[in-house]
Amino acid sequence: MLASEVKAWVRGVLLGLYQPRPRETVWEWAERTLIIPSGGENVRMAGQAWSSRHSPYVREVMDWFRQPGKAELFIMKSSQTGMTMCLLIVICWHIVHRPANIGYIINSREEAKKISKGRLKPWILQNHILDRIGEAEDIDNMTYFLRGMMVHMMGACAEGEFRNKPLSVAILDDLDAHPPLKNVGTTADAARSRLKQDPNAKLCGLSKPNLESDQTFQEVQTGTMERYQVPCPHCDHYQPLIWKGIKFSGKEFEDLAGAPLLDVVMEKAYYECEFCQGRIEEKHKFDILQRGKWVATNPKALPNKRSMLLSDLYSTFVTWGTLAVEWIEAQKSLEKLTAFVQDRLGEPMKRQGGQLKDRDILRLRMKYERGTCPIRAVLCAISIDVQQASMKWGVLAYSKDGDMVVVEYGEALTWDEVDAVILREWASPFGPLFVQCGLVDEGDGHRAKEVREWTLQHETIFPVKGRGNRQVQGLISPSRSEVLGQEVLTYHVNDSAYKRELVFNRIKRAEKNEEYERGRLILPWALCETFVDELQNEVLEIKKDRFGFERSEWVKKGPNDYLDVCKYGLVIWDLNEPVLRAEGFLEVSEVEREVAEVVSEQ
């Protein structure tokens, strides 16, 4: 900067120190003076006056910045709460009313530049903030030189970003995506070192959570852990909105087969008051939000450290019915469920690691003999895992509810032996079963051509290949190839997702006697040691990559053939369940429904 510019900047600093404190709150000022800019994050409302009525919970956050004294605030939030917008407004307020050096830190310089150009800059320019303070535009998308202050848009990727930048306000956005800083620690630690001089310095961090071991969850735990409580419109009891309060199950929401009616769920899902059990409907949400208040739940919070937890249950931009439908769809895979918990509920996923024990497997047994099926099956299939010199196989039967029963398992040395298994009749109290379809693993590629040629002899058995998350779109992705002049359909599946589903949803969940969303894994009473061992021989471990981020990775501890057999059994059900449902095979008869109701009452 030129000498004249330096003098003007110093003059602005002094003016900022001695200007009177504005009487109106930050959100009142924003409602009176600001419009939502075009080209920003909210195209639908561009040009309208900004109002906190759609998200009244942000008022307390905005006013926190004008309170005297050094303080910290960490917010663990979901995806549609409007918090980032409110912090951009806070920056505008500082420019007009309280000049102070501000650092806005996000995971990378590229993302910081994108937010600066596409979000902050439109708020400043389209609301004529610079005209209000008599400033000409001096913005390079990364640093704003303004009267008595600078705004630094920074990436959290390097310690050097923080050097020689004394700050009065530090905003750490998307905190859980920030990499650790060498010789410094976390970005929160680096920001604290830049905020030492100002007695009124403010540190605000916010993020959608990832794991409990990451920055956001850890920082929130040592704060006040406030939740936004709203009154019941029927009894006036104040309570936080939590997921178990959303109701969308029962006869009102289901067809005769017990399947959810998604259009009814979308329209009629409601919240049940924890005190009077009154029905709080979507139409009540806007009004009860206006009367809400933040309530601390942690009496052992560190001094001057507030923390808040906020989910999309409070959002006026997404209905409870929409969230309920998303939850139902999320039950189809652990990946979708993880995304829902983090994005919509604003909660971290607990670590999923630790090795299975013998007792985890043995707990899944029922008293039936190998080679027989104890349930009324709607489907019988074979799952085959191909090894260098043999094939491990499992014959599986499925109930209407998606229970997967291991009827029999074994090892074959030749394809003729596998054919004999497929042609065999399997005993059941409800009539004999025969293999109707199946999947066979192509292995590591060394026997892929052999596998594909064998499947040409079986119209309803297909090759399958486990892939990494980035190698397959969604959970299952089909591809076609030509073998011996004929077209072969191969299914590529998300290997990690199905292992998680098997280990954590079908095996470990039984340990806590939790209700099964997608059916159980049922094993025969007499299990050989090999089967039990191979179900345990792959472990999900938490490791750190070269940037310091925690990543989960499946690690083999020994042969895992029967684990793969059961894993591909889940894929078989996912491929066939929509067809079975469409053809009416999953409908529950009136007799079955009456029996289920009697059992439930008992």
241-258: per-residue pLDDT in tens? 999 999 998 889 988 767
Separation between Cα atoms, residue 255 and residue 262, nearest integer Å: 10
Across 308-336, average pLDDT: 90
Contacts of 431 (CB under 8 A, 6+ apart): none
pLDDT reading at 283 higher than 80:
yes
Q: What SS3 state is found at 51?
A: coil
Sign of CA dihedral 23, 26, 28, 32: positive
pLDDT reading at 516 higher than 80:
no
Across 519-526, average pLDDT: 93
> Is residue 2 very low, low, confident or very high in pLDDT (cuts 50, 70, 90)?
very low
Sign of CA dihedral 402, 408, 411, 416: negative
Query: Would you tell me how many other CB atoms lie within 10 Å of the CB of residue 447?
Result: 18
Which has more confidence, 591 or 563?
563
Which has more confidence, 401 or 139?
401
Instruction: Select the highest-mean-pLDDT range: 13-17, 165-169, 197-201, 292-296.
Output: 292-296
Separation between Cα atoms, residue 561 and residue 569, nearest integer Å: 12
Across 456-472, average pLDDT: 83
State the amino acid at position 446 in one-letter form: H
Which has more confidence, 354 or 8?
354
Percent of the chain with pLDDT over 70: 86
Which has more confidence, 18 or 557?
557
> Is residue 134 very low, low, confident or very high in pLDDT (cuts 50, 70, 90)?
confident
Say which range, 25-34, 511-520, 547-556, has the weakest mean pLDDT. 511-520
Separation between Cα atoms, residue 553 and residue 542, nearest integer Å: 6
Residue spans of alpha helices (H) in 143-247: 187-194, 215-221
Cα-Cα end-to-end distance for the chain = 80
CB neighbour burial string for 477-503, b if at least 16 within 10 angstroms, e if fewer: eeeeeebeeeebebbbbbbbbbbbbbb
pLDDT reading at 4 higher than 90:
no
Say which range, 10-24, 146-160, 306-320, 362-376, has the weakest mean pLDDT. 10-24
Separation between Cα atoms, residue 243 and residue 208, nearest integer Å: 17
Separation between Cα atoms, residue 333 and residue 506, nearest integer Å: 12
Across 547-568, average pLDDT: 84
Residue spans of alpha helices (H) in 381-476: 415-423, 448-455
Q: Tokens for 520?
A: 């159980």
Percent of the chain with pLDDT over 90: 63
Q: Tokens for 139?
A: 């913005």
Quick one: which H or E segment has residue 247? strand 246-247
Rg of the chain on CA atoms, in Å = 29
Separation between Cα atoms, residue 62 and residue 102, nearest integer Å: 15
- Say if strands 461-467 and 437-441 run parallel, antiparallel, or are unpaired: parallel
Separation between Cα atoms, residue 426 and residue 443, nearest integer Å: 27
Please report the pLDDT score of residue 352 as a whole number: 56
Q: What are phi and psi of 357, to 5 degrees?
A: -110, 165
Q: What SS3 state is found at 174?
A: coil
CB 15 within 8 A of CB 96: no
- Give Dmax (Cα) for the chain: 94
Tally: H helices and E strands in the chain: 20, 23
> Is residue 475 very low, low, confident or very high in pLDDT (cuts 50, 70, 90)?
confident
> Is residue 46 very low, low, confident or very high in pLDDT (cuts 50, 70, 90)?
confident
Residue spans of alpha helices (H) in 388-463: 415-423, 448-455
Separation between Cα atoms, residue 559 and residue 14, nearest integer Å: 71
> Is residue 523 very low, low, confident or very high in pLDDT (cuts 50, 70, 90)?
very high
CB 58 within 8 A of CB 188: no
pLDDT reading at 346 higher than 90:
yes
Rounded to the nearest 10 degrees, how much is the dihedral formed by the CA atoms of 211, 213, 217, 218? Answer: -170
Q: List C-alpha distances in Å: 597 to 35, 255, 261, 581, 584.
A: 56, 15, 20, 22, 21
Separation between Cα atoms, residue 539 and residue 554, nearest integer Å: 5
pLDDT reading at 513 higher than 50:
no
- Say if strands 270-272 and 279-280 run parallel, antiparallel, or are unpaired: antiparallel
Which has more confidence, 436 or 595?
436
Separation between Cα atoms, residue 461 and residue 383, nearest integer Å: 9
Q: Tokens for 13?
A: 């600093």
Separation between Cα atoms, residue 489 and residue 455, nearest integer Å: 9
